[in-house]
Amino acid sequence: MIPLPRRLTAEFFGTFWLVFGGCGSAVLAAAIPNLGIGFAGVALAFGLTVLTGAYAFGHVSGAHFNPAVTVGLWTGKRFPARDVLPYIIVQVVAAIVAAAILYLIASGKAGFTTANGFASNGYGDRSPGGYPLLSALVSELVLTFMFVLVILGSTDRRAPGGFAPIAIGLALTVIHLISIPVTNTSVNPARSTGPALFVGSPALAQLWLFWIAPLIGGAVAGFVYPLITGETLPTLEKPAIAAEHG
């Protein structure tokens, strides 16, 4: 078993990469006239960050990069309870650091303001498509549930070896294609927390939903996956999103 400090360091850099790469694409590259990458580009950026991060760090920490994934792997008996809180703390800290560096870069441009959202998540008047609280809640819960199911399935010892990061990265891309108009896509409480701290009270007032819905969705997926597959043996010492499994 890799020592916890080394695993936490890998989680830090992987989560940093996810938030900086994904949110950075939204803040810096999505809206440039005639050149911007748009919703599809942002969705792909999030998928690519988790794909590359999983290959880079999965064999060290399991590449959770997301409190909802950590909780889902715990309820699915893939991850020890003693490590849940340390992982979540490091994930949140990494997301805040990523958002801080992104803010430093973005604020260098004349006219910059976080009033445009700074890649934060929201519902109602803070939803890109004007979707209400119920729509946001259902979207985040269901999509996190499916995301964690994909993670559990692709890292199952019975799944083809070496392809888990690809499946997980593509799943996150699809999730963003579906839900960017609804909530700007969270499915990750750490990812939501970082930008929200720099936006301030409008985003912080709605942050509760982007913790509760993903955590519930991830936890339920952890309970449901063994029922679907008949998996009975816990694999607590295995990486979660590592390319290796078995």
Helices (H) and strands (E) in the chain, counts: 9, 0
pTM of the model: 0.93
The pLDDT of residue 241? 55
The pLDDT of residue 243? 38
**DSSP letter assigned to residue 160:** P
Which residues fall within 8 angstroms of residue 134, CB to CB, at 6 or more apart?
none
- Cβ(246)–Cβ(239) under 8 Å? no
Query: How far lies 20's CA from each of 101, 133, 205, 226, in Å?
Result: 8, 27, 23, 33
* Confidence check: pLDDT of 239 > 60: no
The pLDDT of residue 134? 98
The pLDDT of residue 43? 97
Q: What topology is assigned to 4-109+118-229 in CATH?
A: Glycerol uptake facilitator protein (1.20.1080)
Angle at alpha carbon of residue 243, lines to 62 and 99, rounded to 5°? 50
The domain ranges of the chain are: 4-109+118-229
pLDDT digits (tens, 9 = 90+) for 66-108: 999 999 999 999 999 999 999 999 999 999 999 999 999 999 9
The pLDDT of residue 240? 53
